[in-house]
């Protein structure tokens, strides 16, 4: 790997937008259908030269780092991941799972887990400040609150208990 190469940073949304602008009419129709499902694009507007350069740099990158890889199964991120299928991929996520049953898609696109750490280990190594967690019973918490916050919390607890 040539470490002297430039670093390219872009959001998944921007890359998806650039990729979609380079697709043929059939692909664009499919993407329009996905957009009708509520997928939103960012507002970054690139001139034609910048768009082509970003697409080239991304598609020829040897290493691609994806943050928030739990979103990879979503169609926008999936389009971006699949566009450069020859790079080494590094995925980062504090929550590498999904509630919609598509967690295995993360590993299908990103590969196996190379390292797992937790907040306690990071604190022990000095990378993060140790958390000070205090647990309160809901009734105690309501007694500690005052004024409008107490009234709001009390009503929410009553609503929660009545459900």
Question: Residue 161's pLDDT is what?
Answer: 41
Q: Which of 79, 75, 118 has its CA nearest to residue 96?
A: 118
Q: Which residues of 32-50 are buried (b: 16+ CB within 10 A; e: fewer)?
A: eebeeeebeeeeeebeeee
Taking all residues of the chain, what is their mean pLDDT, rounded to a whole number? 77
Question: Residue 11's pLDDT is what?
Answer: 80
pLDDT-based confidence at residue 163 (cuts at 50, 70, 90)? very low
What are the structure tokens assigned to 101, written together? Answer: 């049953």
Question: Burial level of 75, CB count in 10 A (0-12/13-18/19+)?
Answer: middle
Taking residues 132-155, report their average pLDDT. Answer: 68
Rounded to whole angstroms, the Cα distance separating 15 from 50 reads: 12
Rounded to whole angstroms, the Cα distance separating 156 from 151 reads: 9
Q: pLDDT tens digits, residue range 1-54? A: 666 776 777 788 788 888 877 655 665 666 566 566 555 444 456 788 888 888
């Amino acid at each position: 790997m040539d470490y002297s190469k430039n670093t390219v940073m872009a959001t998944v949304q921007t890359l998806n937008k650039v990729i979609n602008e380079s697709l043929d009419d059939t692909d664009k129709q499919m993407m329009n259908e996905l957009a009708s499902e509520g997928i939103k694009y960012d507002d970054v507007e690139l001139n034609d030269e910048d768009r082509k350069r970003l697409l080239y740099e991304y598609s020829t990158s040897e290493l691609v780092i994806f943050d928030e890889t739990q979103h990879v199964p979503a169609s926008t991120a999936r389009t971006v991941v699949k566009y450069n299928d020859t790079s080494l991929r590094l995925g980062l996520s504090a929550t590498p799972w999904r509630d919609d049953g598509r967690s295995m898609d993360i590993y299908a696109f990103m590969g196996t887990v190379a390292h797992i750490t937790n907040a306690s280990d990071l604190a022990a190594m000095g990378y993060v400040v140790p958390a000070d967690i205090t647990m309160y019973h809901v009734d105690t918490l309501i007694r500690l609150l005052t004024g409008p916050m107490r009234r709001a919390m009390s009503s929410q607890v009553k609503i929660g208990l009545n459900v």
